Amino acid sequence: MSAIRKIDVPTIPTELSNQPDNTTLSGARKKKLLLRRLTTFLICVGIISFLMVSTLISQSSILKEKRAEKAVLDEQVVALEKKEVELNDQIAKLNDEEYLAKLARKDLLLSKDGEIIFNIPNDENGKKSENGK
């Protein structure tokens, strides 16, 4: 088997053959423009991604602060609700005439007719002295 040889055919120089091929120039321009567009797109995507991540981080830190503040405020609400219950009880007691009379006798040293009041001093701990028991 013999190999088929290719015959070199000389080309004739013409104006068309001397000019650079437009297809190779336009292909290089297209590649260059494509590279520029992709670079611009990637820069834009990077900036947008950075902004989104920074926003997410700042929002999560704000959320943590708000949760801590909410916990403190919830504790204050519980304390104020307890105080409200105590004050409502005190209002109910102050509407009772017997309680008011007892309070007036105790604090203002008022007495009924024929009643004698003995004031026993308290010691440092707020308890009545042993002589008063």
**pLDDT tens-digit readout, 19-38:** 555 566 678 888 999 999 99
**SS3 (DSSP) at 128:** strand
User: Structural domain of residue 43, as residue ranges?
Assistant: 25-111
Question: Is 58 inside a domain boundary?
Answer: yes
Question: Is 100 inside a domain boundary?
Answer: yes
Question: Is 30 inside a domain boundary?
Answer: yes
* pTM > 0.85: yes or no: no
Question: Is 9 inside a domain boundary?
Answer: no
Least confident span in 7-11, 52-56, 66-70, 94-98: 7-11
Number of separate domains in the chain: 1
Question: Is 107 inside a domain boundary?
Answer: yes
Give the helix/strand (H/E) hosting 47.
helix 22-94
Vertex 64 angle, CA 60 and 70, to 5°: 140
Average pLDDT for 79-102: 91
